[in-house]
Amino acid sequence: MEPTSSASIARQTWELENNIPAAATDPDAMDAIYRYDDSVQARAQQEKPWANDPHHFRRTKISALALLKMVVHARAGGTIEVMGLMQGKCEGDAIIVMDAFALPVEGTETRVNAQADAYEYMVEYSTINKQAGRLENVVGWYHSHPGYGCWLSGIDVSTQMLNQQFTEPFLAVVIDPTRTVSAGKVEIGAFRTYPKDYKPPDEPVSEYQTIPLNKIEDFGVHCKSYYALDITYFKSSLDSHLLDLLWNKYWVNTLSSSPLLGNRDYVAGQIFDLADKLEQAEGQLAHSRFGGMIMPSQRKKEQEESPLAKVTRDSSKITAEQVHGLMSQVIKDILFNSVHPSSKASTSAPDSSGPEPMVEA
Amino acid sequence: MSAPSDAAPAVSAPAPTTTAAASSGGFTFKLHPLVIVNVSDHHTRVKAQAACSGDSSSSSSAAGAGAGAGQPPRVFGCVIGVQRGRTVEIFNSFELVLDPVSGTLDRAFLEKKQELYKKVFPDFYVLGWYSTGSDVHDTDMQIHKALMDVNESPVYLLLNPTINLSQKDLPVTIYESELHVIDGSPQLIFVRSNYTIETVEAERISVDHVAHLKPSDGGSAATQLAAHLTGIHSAIKMLNSRVRVIHQYLVAMQKGDIPVDNSLLRQVSSLVRRLPAMESQKFQDDFLMEYNDTLLMTYLAMFTNCSSTMNELVEKINTSYERPTTRRGGRGAFM
């Protein structure tokens, strides 16, 4: 029973398959990113390579700590949008986020006024942190969209455009804590806006996500004025070591999590939204049924899908998540409930449950 | 459910300020992974900064006193969280500045930081402090006492940053301070306490995400399913291995290799008696209802999928076999 060695073999296989360079696992190289060199940053500020190319930054690297802090803060806000700032540096065409901290302002409507409060807090926090060894500058902001996806709303776009005019380099990150918990994977997006009047080249559509009906107009109007950056994560050697060990205590939580129970409200909302979208799609399709006159207008580009197809995609996604949750419940039921004290366990069967679900490798 | 193997602390020769015996206080400690990652990040940062500034003393980062040559400097900080009755839950932490000369904490800094954090997390109180190193130092008691006027019984969290690949347990220890009578005079000493890792769902998912570097994009439904099931599989494997350990232990006890430990036997017996976990009829009903709900959702999704495909098919048929009704162009106009 060597969970650590089989886990490390599995990880090495995975790393090989995903072409992670060997340097990524060397502890000194991993930790090199934590060094903050003032002169390099000052030089970058003077050169401003981003001033000429609106598409200059293409990637972002987020540290494990920053991700954890942002997700926890976003989740703590519940259904209220929360926001905070990120500290880091830039390196070539990547913005590196080392740390994040929360701001004591909430809500979207009052965002413009709250900027003053936020700036005060931010200045105080940054100066204090410099004393304690956190030398990086503020390099972006993050906020949460609980339940309605990772994209920039109209207010967000104008805020970000303002920031990109005056405090470059700046990055906008959006986190959806509700979808994170529901889907079991982190829902996060990093964006930068194009300057006004800039015509972006036609971008391939990024990963599709479902947007609730009441927000879809806001999304559609502005979705062309910003672009998404690739997100990768990094962690220090000590972090990896600790996280590995953490698994020894963590597996209990993994097994005992019940996504079905936790997400009831969210799923109900999603289904409701889906029903509305279905009605809309039905209305659109009904018009096209009669006569070929309208046919040519229906011929769309290959990329766009008819509303009905979109609804189908959304419904499959929700259902898949539900099925995952149900599978966990069924597995737990088999493990812990199908035991009867009357049956005499044979001498060689150590497990207390009847059917042996998994055989240890 | 913590394995009994966690409960056996090693006894070493007690230094004047510490003892490794288990704490007799009734506090239960819960630690969030965020704190661990925080402390580790702080340490890595300071180490990287000190390494790059060469042999000059770590003046670019106000880290802390007592750094031996070649050893990474110690870092210090504060832990905050919530205390409800006897349960102490540590949620978050932040860095502190230590005055290298006098070895005491910078109080103004602490207060400023506390204020800032209070604005964002109004429920959290200062619960104690943390530091890195392999063992408790003599100067730590001073700092501990200084913190006592913020919180009457602060906790001290020590993280050992040396990476030791053979160790199986988290190198994090939590110490409490207790008044013991040593050599006739009451002295405060550190005693170790046990703790459990507590988490919220979102934290668990992001820790999982970063720890195993899962593919961040959506992937197909098949990969998502695989990822989900792999997670559960590893958890169950862990459960299996722990159960086997207990079983082997019991068998050895039966054979007489190991002296019989009654308290352990009682624990195991109570554990076994807890299964089956749920046996009521109401549970079965609710469970079946949930099962049926999910199946219904799958059914509906299937239906939607079918009708969408059907719709596309009908559209295609309509397009290709359009009968010329009012159009004068005739057949083939829409080819």
- A28-37 pLDDT, tens digit per residue, is 656 667 777 7
What is the per-residue pLDDT across B85-135, written as a single tens digit (0 to 9) for each?
A: 888 888 888 888 777 666 677 778 888 888 888 888 888 888 888 888 877
Same domain, yes or no: A94 and A228: yes
Neighbours of A236 (CB within 10 A): 25
pLDDT at res. B217: 47
- pTM for the predicted model, two decimal places: 0.75
Q: Which two tokens stand for residue B333?
A: 């106009």
Residues 6+ positions from B324 with CB-CB distance below 8 Å: B330, B331, B333
Residue A65 resides in a domain? yes
ipTM above 0.90, yes or no: no
Query: Which helix (DSSP H) or strand (DSSP E) does residue A141 occupy?
Result: strand A137-144
Instruction: Provide the pLDDT confidence category of residue A174 given band limits of 50, 70 and 90.
Output: very high
Residue A209 resides in a domain? yes
Residue A192 resides in a domain? yes
Same domain, yes or no: A48 and A154: yes
Residue ranges of B 220-279 with Cβ closer than 8 A to chain A: 221, 224-225, 227-229, 231-241, 243-245, 247, 272-273, 275-279
Instruction: Provide the pLDDT confidence category of residue B156 given band limits of 50, 70 and 90.
Output: confident
- Tokens 């099931």 belong to which residue? B229
Residue A37 resides in a domain? yes
Q: A134 touching B, CB under 8 A?
A: yes
Inspect the interface and report whether the beta carbons of A253 and B204 lie closer than 8 Å. Answer: yes
Summary mean pLDDT of chain B: 75
pLDDT at res. B292: 93
Same domain, yes or no: A213 and A137: yes
Report the number of distinct structural domains present in chain A: 2
Strand order of the sheet with strand B155-159?
B18-22, B185-193, B172-182, B155-159, B125-132, B76-84, B87-95, B28-31, B195-197
Phi, psi of B34, rounded to the nearest 5 degrees: -60, -40
Residue A123 resides in a domain? yes
Q: Which two tokens stand for residue A192?
A: 């930068």
Residues 6+ positions from B81 with CB-CB distance below 8 Å: B32, B88, B89, B90, B91, B92, B124, B125, B127
Percent of chain B with pLDDT over 70: 78
The rounded radius of gyration (Å) of the Cα atoms in chain A is 24
Residue ranges of A 46-65 with Cβ closer than 8 A to chain B: 63-65
The residue in chain B having the minimum alpha-carbon distance to the alpha carbon of residue A68 is B206
| One-character DSSP codes across A158-171 | HHHHHHHHHS-S-E
Helix axes A3-17, B221-255, angle to 10 degrees: 160
pLDDT at res. A301: 41
Residue A61 resides in a domain? yes
The predicted model gives A152-160 an average pLDDT of 86
Contacts of A228 in chain B (CB under 8 A): none
The residue in chain A having the minimum alpha-carbon distance to the alpha carbon of residue B324 is A292
Angle at B193 between CA B192 and CA B196, to 5 degrees: 140
Inspect the interface and report whether the beta carbons of B236 and A330 lie closer than 8 Å. Answer: no
- Tokens 């390579």 belong to which residue? A49
- Of residues A354 and A57, more confidence is placed in A57
Query: Which helix (DSSP H) or strand (DSSP E) does residue B182 occupy?
Result: strand B172-182
Q: Which long-range contacts (CB under 8 A, 24 or more apart) does B307-310 make?
A: B307/A308, B308/A308, B308/A309, B308/A311, B308/A312
Residues 6+ positions from A305 with CB-CB distance below 8 Å: A313
Which range marks the domain in which residue A314 is found?
Answer: 258-287+310-328
Instruction: Provide the pLDDT confidence category of residue B62 given band limits of 50, 70 and 90.
Output: very low
Same domain, yes or no: A178 and A317: no
Q: How far, in Å, CA of A128 to CA of B97, rounded?
A: 10
Inspect the interface and report whether the beta carbons of B37 and A64 lie closer than 8 Å. Answer: yes
What is the per-residue pLDDT across B218-261, written as a single tens digit (0 to 9) for each?
A: 556 677 788 788 878 888 888 888 889 988 988 888 888 878 88
The residue in chain B having the minimum alpha-carbon distance to the alpha carbon of residue A27 is B163
The residue in chain B having the minimum alpha-carbon distance to the alpha carbon of residue A281 is B308
What is the per-residue pLDDT across A220-231, written as a single tens digit (0 to 9) for each?
A: 778 778 888 888
Residue A347 resides in a domain? no
Q: B20 touching A, CB under 8 A?
A: no
The residue in chain A having the minimum alpha-carbon distance to the alpha carbon of residue B92 is A69
- Of residues A131 and A359, more confidence is placed in A131
Contacts of A252 in chain B (CB under 8 A): 1, 235
Identify the CA nearest to B216 among candidates A257, A59, A301, A129.
A59
Same domain, yes or no: A205 and A56: yes
Please name the member of B163, B294, B305 whose beta carbon is closest to the beta carbon of A241.
B163
Q: How far, in Å, CA of B91 to CA of B112, rounded?
A: 19
Same domain, yes or no: A224 and A280: no
Q: Which residues of A151-160 are buried (b: 16+ CB within 10 A; e: fewer)?
A: bbbeebbbbb
Residue B295 pLDDT greater than 90, yes or no: yes
Contacts of B224 in chain A (CB under 8 A): 185, 320, 324
Inspect the interface and report whether the beta carbons of A236 and B244 lie closer than 8 Å. Answer: no
Same domain, yes or no: A190 and A268: no
Same domain, yes or no: A95 and A224: yes
pLDDT at res. B25: 63
Q: B315 touching A, CB under 8 A?
A: yes
CATH number at residue A62: 3.40.140.10
Q: How far, in Å, CA of B145 to CA of B161, rounded?
A: 24
**pLDDT-wise least confident of A42-51, A152-161, A172-181:** A42-51
Same domain, yes or no: A320 and A205: no
The answer to whether residues A174 and A150 touch, using CB atoms and an 8 Å cutoff, is yes
Inspect the interface and report whether the beta carbons of A125 and B231 lie closer than 8 Å. Answer: no
Kindly give the pairing relationship between strand A137-144 and strand B155-159: unpaired
Same domain, yes or no: A167 and A220: yes
Identify the CA nearest to B175 among candidates B198, B213, B147.
B147
Same domain, yes or no: A123 and A229: yes
Residue A42 resides in a domain? yes
The SS3 assignment for B219 reads coil
Residue B17 pLDDT greater than 70, yes or no: no
Same domain, yes or no: A187 and A271: no
Q: How far, in Å, CA of A329 to CA of A352, rounded?
A: 18
Identify the CA nearest to A248 among candidates A2, A72, A12.
A2
